[in-house]
Amino acid sequence: MAKMSYPNNAAPDPEMIRCAAALIQSGKLVAFPTETVYGLGANALDAAAVEKIFRVKDRPASSPLIVHVHSLEAARDLVTHWPPAAENLAGKFWPGPLTIVLAKRGFIPDIVTASLPTVAVRVPANGIALALLAEARVPIAAPSANRFGELSPTTAEHVRNSLGDAVDLILDGGRTDVGIESTVLSLAGSTPVLLRPGMISTERIEQLIGKIEVATLSPDGPHPSPGMHQRHYSPRTPLMLHPPGSGRGAYLWMTCPHPGAYNVEMPADAASYAAVLYDTLHRLDAQGLDWIAVELPPDGST
């Protein structure tokens, strides 16, 4: 398995991008950075290649994949109808951490969409991802590059630790900027529905398109979005959530056999908190701790 490195915020190396694109075109798996987390990518129009994603991640077929494209025009090509709400949202938030779910065209393999009639699409805000998409000239299906249900990777090292040699290539673009998954919004029905919360808040979306509904988790059948299973984005170490207290967003953990708690203070603002959340949990998860306790931020914090 090769490793390719780029300085943070630097322009992608064209030769490296051509190599990665050729792998995608030949049905291989390439892990690459986006602004949210690292994705495990395959040609979204190649069902056999996409099946490798599910096998490597041990991902259930009921969990659809997000399809990444390099432009708004490329996203339109994947759907049967592009409503005004999609145009408004894409114009405001793309490239960026918003995924839009719409009715799909028939050439998109069922394995990508959990056999649902809809497809989730977005344009990522990362130079390496956009360069790969443009060079590959195909949409790339890419869930987070980790075993299903585990913590999402925000560095190339996280990908290597989780998937090892199961990935044909890892493009190392440093730590991701946003640090949590994209917001997923369905525009496939008469009413917009928030399927998965993310960095783009409900309030910002409603400012553009009006009131939206919020989906509830369903344990049965195909899910309309990734991230809707009962267990997702979790460390291996047992994790507990506690109400807000004196220290905002502090992580608490205890090791064995030594009694006592150790605190990791988290940033106060939401964007900075999200950017380091998974990385912090990855580091704690590697310590062999008895448990990790998270003190939740106060209600209404931003």
* Average pLDDT rounded to a whole number, residues 2-10: 44
| pLDDT tens-digit series, residues 82-110 | 999 999 999 999 999 999 999 999 999 99
Distance, CA of 173 to CA of 103 (rounded, Å): 33
Single out the residue of 56, 45, 40 nearest to residue 112, CA to CA.
Answer: 45
Give the three-class secondary structure for 42: strand
What average pLDDT score do residues 50-73 get?
96
**Domains of the chain, start order:** 2-214 (3.90.870.10), 239-295 (no CATH)
Enter the tokens of residue 260.
Answer: 């006592």
Of 57, 53, 99, 51, the residue nearest 79 (C-alpha)? 99
Strand partners, 294: 241, 251
In the structure, what pLDDT confidence band is assigned to residue 2 with cuts at 50, 70 and 90? Answer: very low
**What is the model's pLDDT at position 257?**
40
pLDDT of residue 35: 95
Judged against a pLDDT cut of 60, whether residue 65 lies above it is answered with yes
Distance CA 284, CA 264 (A): 10
* C-alpha pair distances (Å), 260 with each of 257, 274, 288, 289: 10, 27, 15, 12
Average pLDDT over residues 268-273: 72
Cα separation, 292 vs 274, whole angstroms = 17
Burial readout 113-151 (b: 16 or more C-beta within 10 A, e: otherwise): bbebebbbbbbbbbbbbbbbbebbebbbbbbbbbebbbb
Q: Which two tokens stand for residue 292?
A: 């990790």
User: Is the model's pLDDT at 135 over the cut of 90?
Assistant: yes
pLDDT tens per residue across span 230-240: 555 566 676 66
